[in-house]
Amino acid sequence: MRRHFHLKTRRLTAAAAAAALSLGSLGVAPAFGAFTFTKIVDSNTADPGGAGTINSFSPPALDGNTVAFRAFNSHGQAVFEKAGAGPLTTVADTASTIPSGSGKFVGFNNPSVSGANITFWGTDNNTQQGIYATLGGPLTRIVDRTMAMPSSPASLTFSTIQQLPSISGSNIVFSAMDSNSYQAVFSSQAGGAPVSMVGSDPNFPTPFTSTERGVANPVVVGNAAVFVHSTLGGTNIQKGTVGAGGAANQVGGAGAGFGAPGYDYDGTVIGYEMDTANTSRGVFAYNTVTQQISLIADNTTLVPGGGGAHFVFGPTTAFNPVSVSNGAVTFVAGDSGGGAGVYTTLGGSLQKVIRVGDVLDGEAVSSFSDFLQRDSMSGDSIALEVFFGVNPVGDAIYVATAVPVPEPTSIASACGVSAVLLLRRRRARVER
């Protein structure tokens, strides 16, 4: 009997532990702890469109399980895409003919991705530059310098097309100016002709007054877009509607400075790095529903896992990338210990994602780079460029995914409930 009882005790313990691991059925909300890192490509990855390998990656964009990034292949610069476990594919490279143009591409900037759709800025070595996209089909032109610029006071064509388009579904937004330096934010829906988006100034988007500087670097989510609006009195973030042509409104707060890629938008929350009036800098979050601004980190904030170091933000440096998804903000920052890394508010509290000196796949992260761009977050995952600086790995792209970690009290409760239920079953069997 004793031996038989011990066997049942072991079964009870194992069953209780299994039940404790299945916390979802008990309605226990997990917190986020460590991250798992999945390598997407590195400097040993074969070029899918030719001989040799790819290298010199740019910070990647992520949507769902699709990663898009710029790199170099045997032809020169290229834009690549990898969806889940599928193969790495070339979206465009310097062997690609420019759609609705002539000749070949010679350069690109970082792509933006939404589902299977990708958009990017591309140029040749002469006068061609534009925004191009794959919208469920072959690469197509969205805008280039041969096209008339809507609302241009002098009816001029596009002249300078800024290099950071943003895509959501089939909506694409970008900023551009004509040769008279008239500047505006534009949107294209489903590959259609660009239309200008109207700003809050009564004369906008007519030529700026003496107090105006410009608008730039929009981000789109669904039919809503946000963009930087700068004046001589400071800089703010405006929000407008794609294709609507209606007035935009200031959101967030006015500060001494904003700048791409130092802000992002997820449809509700705008995360941004900002210079404040006292010449300090920090990372903030603005909820467009509650209209509340929250400080995430500034020069007085201790670095998670930084051994007592505090963050070091500008204001003399360029704006570092910020990415936002589901209300969580991820950003790049240096610290007073001479380090640098990526940090996030996933799970509700500030935590480290990766830092110079951390080891991935046996290689130490060796130097500070941009690491990410504003499209790098998607759900609980963050796509990162990591530089190791030594062969055989060199440069790589990873996706870091937050691991749900149940709270200890919840585990104990789950174990207790499971143990009671299983003991009752055992007693019922004995009574029979």
Contact 37, 360 (CB under 8 A): yes
* Alpha-carbon gap, residue 367 to 377, rounded angstroms: 22
Q: What is the dihedral of CA 283, 286, 292, 293, to 10 degrees?
A: 20
pLDDT of residue 5: 28
pLDDT of residue 112: 97
Nearest to 177 by CA among 141, 205, 211: 205
Q: CA triplet 330, 332, 334: central angle to 5 degrees?
A: 140
10-residue stretch averages of pLDDT, the chain, 432 residues long: 31 35 34 84 91 91 97 92 96 95 94 97 89 96 95 88 95 92 89 76 39 73 85 72 65 52 87 74 89 91 92 76 95 91 93 92 80 94 88 83 72 48 48 49
Contact 167, 188 (CB under 8 A): no
* Alpha-carbon gap, residue 356 to 377, rounded angstroms: 20
pLDDT of residue 335: 92
pTM for this entry: 0.82
Residue 337 DSSP one-character state: T
Ranges of beta strands (E only) in 266-394 are 269-275, 281-287, 292-298, 311-312, 322-325, 328-335, 340-344, 351-355, 359-360, 363-364, 377-378, 381-387
Cα of 336 vs its chain's centroid, Å: 25
Distances (CA, A) of 60 to 10, 69, 370, 382: 49, 5, 10, 9
Superfamily of domain 35-403: Prolyl oligopeptidase, N-terminal domain (2.130.10.120)
pLDDT of residue 16: 35
pLDDT of residue 152: 82
* Alpha-carbon gap, residue 79 to 423, rounded angstroms: 60
pLDDT of residue 258: 52
